[in-house]
Amino acid sequence: MNYLAHSILSFTNGQLVGNMIADFIKNNERENFPLEIQEGIKLHRFIDSFTDSHPAVSEAKKIFSPLVRLYSGAFVDVAFDYFVAHYYPIEDLKQHSLKTYKILWENEKWLPEDYKRMLIRMEQDDWLTNYRTDRGIKFSMQNVLNKAKYLEKNIPVFDLFLKNKKELQFYFNKFFPDIVSECTKTFKLM
């Protein structure tokens, strides 16, 4: 899952911080953070592992794999954030986004420098809310292409998303209730 899903699947402020910064820290650095942020890092890794092993995600990857091969999971993550954004009313999504940015900045001392630089852009362009739009998903998919070492930057992956939106929605609907349930059982009561 991508940034929006990770933020929504956090149950405490500390978990949110850890969940959002997990890709920016090494596993052996985890103990440098307060326990609640460590739980968020564990939550992030749990979400990634659960997502990668879910049968519906495996099927969704097949849509992207002919174009982007091993990067198909990254594009499914972005595509699924589009559906996460539509899972909630727009006003709830906007409130969630604002609250997320606020909590992250309140915990700035725990944010890695690379993450802070990205968070500035994330907040300015309101990535979390804009995952709801085709334009926002196109931007995010292009970001993945730009960062990918072994992919051409002009692969029509967004067109593939648009063409297969209904099928991707089907796989998301099979997957999302499972991840919410598993995260709630495993991390909400911590």
The pLDDT, as a whole number, for residue 145 is: 93
According to the model, what pLDDT value does residue 28 have?
85
Distance, CA of 159 to CA of 64 (rounded, Å): 11
How far lies 6's CA from each of 38, 69, 143, 165, in Å?
Answer: 14, 24, 18, 21
Which two tokens mark 94?
């906007």
Q: Answer yes or no: are the C-beta atoms of 87 and 176 closer than 8 Å.
A: yes
Question: CB–CB of 172/83 below 8 Å?
Answer: yes
| Beta-strand runs (E) in 37-81 | none
**pLDDT for the residue 119:** 96
Model's pTM, two decimal places? 0.91
Report mean pLDDT in 10-residue bins for the chain, 190 residues.
91 96 90 94 95 96 94 95 94 96 98 96 94 94 90 94 97 96 83
pLDDT of residue 177: 96
The pLDDT, as a whole number, for residue 189 is 58
Report the distance separating Cα 84 and Cα 173, nearest Å.
10
